[in-house]
Amino acid sequence: MKKYTEVPITEALEKNYMPYAMSVIVSRALPEIDGFKPAHRKLLYTMYKMGLLNGARTKSANIVGQTMKLNPHGDAAIYETMVRLARGNESLLVPFVDSKGNFGKVYSRDMAYAAARYTEAKLSEICSEVFGDIDCDAVDFVDNYDGTMKEPVLLPTTFPNILVSSNLGIAVGMACSICGFDLGEVCRTAIELIRDPEHDIMSTLIAPDFPTGGELIYDKEQLRAIYESGRGSFQVRAKWEYVKKDNLIEITEIPYTTTIEAIIGKVTELVKAGKVREISDMRDESGLSGLKLTIDLKRGADPEKLMQKLMRLTPLTDSFSCNFNILIGGTPNVLGVRAIFDEWTAWRTECVRRRIHFDLQKKKARLHLLRGLKKILLDIDKAIAIIRSTEEDSEVIPNLMINFGIDKTQAEFIAEIKLRNINKEHIMKRLAETQELEEEIGRLEDTLADRRKVQSIIISELESVISRFPTTRHTEIVYKTEIDDYQPEEHVEDYAVNIFLTRDGYFKKITPLSLRMGGEHKLKDGDAMRVALDASNKDEIIFITNMHQAYKCRLHEFEDGKASVLGDYLPQKLGMDEGEAPIYMLLPGDYSGNLIFIFENGKTAKVALSAYETKSNRKKLTGAYCDKYKLVAVFHTTPDAELALYSGNRLLIFNTALLTPKTTRGTQGVNTMNVKKNHTVSSACLLALAEVADPARYRARQLPSSGAVLRDEDLPEKQISLD
């Protein structure tokens, strides 16, 4: 019998899940200060070791195969990494892979890249700034996954690549979303911050930039908040042009966060729903010349107003959410732009210092050898005689060390000198080299000891990047004040309508003329009218449902109908949940007044209508009213009104002014009618519809109240219930 050991779930998670989570965070999803994730770093370093920085292109399949020595996650994942880094995919402002062949496009979901056996690649020229210090001990190296070779922990980039290359990643419990910035602006900002830590970043790092272009809607305070905290969002919109000759619109740049398929799909949806009527056709004409979406307009359509509408209703305007989450020393940190520059400068300073130290040690070692040679040169004939007179090869080095007072390294260097190099010219050159090395070593030691000299080296390297790799912004900047926002109400025709809601959930919007000429309403068998209102086509409407939810929409979203048709079936039209049905409708107008909810246990909730007002365009509001008791009736009162509540053979009339309005939609209300045992409030209506001969008999001055027994002449006709 197999035995099982019980382990607390917290302990199991800590032992099994936490290592996985940390592996994803540290070794896969988040970039480090060099701007690369591990997959990027392994691929680029492999290409560097293959000699692809200065060599010719090779098949991508060859690169993928070689990269698997460092990255064991499979060829598909490695190739996808290469695709994103490639010039042809247009994902990065500064691509690191010089590609040949079809590498797909970042702005297209369906434009697939070719297989690795068909494409070729090498490192782009900018990689000289990535690998320039790789062999100078500027960064640490570690063993690969099987310990057969070494790989760099970071790549010693001479520019702040972390802010130049866009990065998106989802780890366990955290994510990162870093927008790209123009290379020239980033380098110039880094230089100014090194010179003056209080430099105003926004004066040189104007705004984010994307390879897909578009127009960034500039909000200075919004961007300043992102720069300071590393979190926030901004909007980018498409660029378009109206071709009057052909009566069409050409879209040539779109936001980085969307695709041409998403845009076409949304526009198609709007056309089918009748919300956009100016378009006769839309097609994707992207090709070798770049992205192009063409919209054919109907005669008389206003291109400006159409694009305002599409910018609001489709991904032609999209948001980029920033989350500058970066690994610093193996720990995730959400940093503002200034903090990122500070971290990069500190890291780059260490890289430069390590490189200088590496050069210094090499020169000291060379000087050490030359000083030994200098001692030998004082009596070169003696050295030759010692070597010739030594019988055993192993004794040559010790004899030189004893006779000239030099160490083993110096002796080995001298013993290996060729005969041809003991001429006067060679000897004089080595002596001159000794003096040059002493001067160079002194200069390097001074540099290491002076922080400002190290910083000047970083600045000169940044200035070199600016001059060698000049850039121009892809994404233009437009100010909010320059944009005419689309206001749907301005484009909606306004006219009087009559609206009707039936018990079975059918809704009709009918013009008064059509209503007069249409005769009787067509209803399903057993259905009846529940609510009828006079309205305007521009009005907002709210539907209350039996599942404690409210749906908000505009009347112009419904087609004009006739009395002779059933109308729109609201559960289907509004996408309600299964079994959900509308029980009441109202026109909120300016959201004044109150909603009165009558429950069968005698409680009444008075909720201010302003509680249903939302700043966003939410269609669905959950928790529209209390879900603890069964609802009997709903009323919209502006101003307060008198209501009649029926329970068994009793009637209560009260004014809603006796109730205090609440701002919480889910309020349980207060006791209004004291119902007798085994009785409930069966129905309710406005007093004007109750047809009571003597209202004073049933009217309550204080609540709660039991009401009064109904007289025969006041017995109500059968009311329409909410069931």
Q: Which residues are the active-site residues?
A: 118
- 3-state secondary structure labels for all residues of 428-478: HHHHHHHHHHHHHHHHHHHHHHCHHHHHHHHHHHHHHHHHHCCCCCCCEEE
Q: How far apart are CA 583 and CA 27, in angstroms?
A: 55
The β-bridge relationship of strands 120-123 and 97-100 is antiparallel
Largest CA distance in the chain: 145
Q: What's at 40, amino acid-wise?
A: H
Q: What distance in Å separates the CA atoms of residue 155 and residue 34, rounded to the nearest whole number?
A: 6
Q: Which residues of 151-160 are buried (b: 16+ CB within 10 A; e: fewer)?
A: bbebbbbbbb
Tell me how far apart the alpha carbons of residues 342 and 348 are, in angstroms, rounded to a whole number: 10
Question: Tokens standing for 527?
Answer: 């259905």
Q: Which two tokens stand for residue 638?
A: 């502006």
Q: What number of residues does the chain have?
A: 723
247 neighbors 299 (Cβ within 8 angstroms): yes
**Checking DSSP bridges between strand 650-655 and strand 620-622, what pairing results, if any?**
unpaired
- Give 498-518 as a DSSP string: EEEEETTSEEEEE-HHHHHHH
Closest CA to 311 of 363, 251, 358: 251
The dihedral formed by the CA atoms of 34, 37, 38 and 43, expressed in degrees to the nearest 10: -90
- The answer to whether 548 and 625 have CB atoms below 8 angstroms apart is yes
| Among the listed residues 564, 561, 505, 559, the one whose alpha carbon sits nearest the alpha carbon of residue 531 | 505
Phi first, then psi: what are they for 270, rounded to 5°? -65, -40
Question: Which two structure tokens, joined as six digits, stand for 579?
Answer: 């079994």
Q: Where are the alpha helices (DSSP H) in 577-632?
A: none
Helix axis angle, 303-313 to 260-272, nearest 10°: 110
CB 91 within 8 A of CB 257: no
Pick from 418, 384, 422: which is nearest to 404 by CA?
384
Note whether 36 and 47 are within 8 A (CB): no
Cα(290)–Cα(626) distance, integer angstroms = 56
- Closest by CA to 700, choosing from 660, 647, 645, 649, is 645
Gap between the Cα atoms of 418 and 555, Å rounded = 98
Whole-angstrom Cα distance, residue 380 to residue 234?
76
Please work out, in degrees rounded to the nearest 5, the angle formed at the alpha carbon of residue 272 by the alpha carbons of 268 and 275.
95
CA distance 332 to 175: 10
Q: Say how far apart CA 206 and CA 208 lie, in whole Å.
A: 7
Report in angstroms the alpha-carbon separations of 122 from 166, 172, 276, 411, 537: 21, 33, 47, 45, 62
Q: What strands, in cross-sheet order, belong to the sheet with 97-100?
A: 58-59, 120-123, 97-100
What is the distance between the terminal CA atoms of the chain, rounded to a whole angstrom?
Answer: 59
> What are the counts of helices (DSSP H) followed by strands (DSSP E) for the chain?
20, 33
Q: What is the CA radius of gyration of the chain?
A: 40
Per the CB < 8 A criterion, the answer to whether 687 and 643 are in contact is yes
Q: State the Cα angle at 679 between 673 and 685, rounded to 5°.
A: 50
> Are 583 and 550 spatial neighbours (Cβ–Cβ below 8 Å)?
no
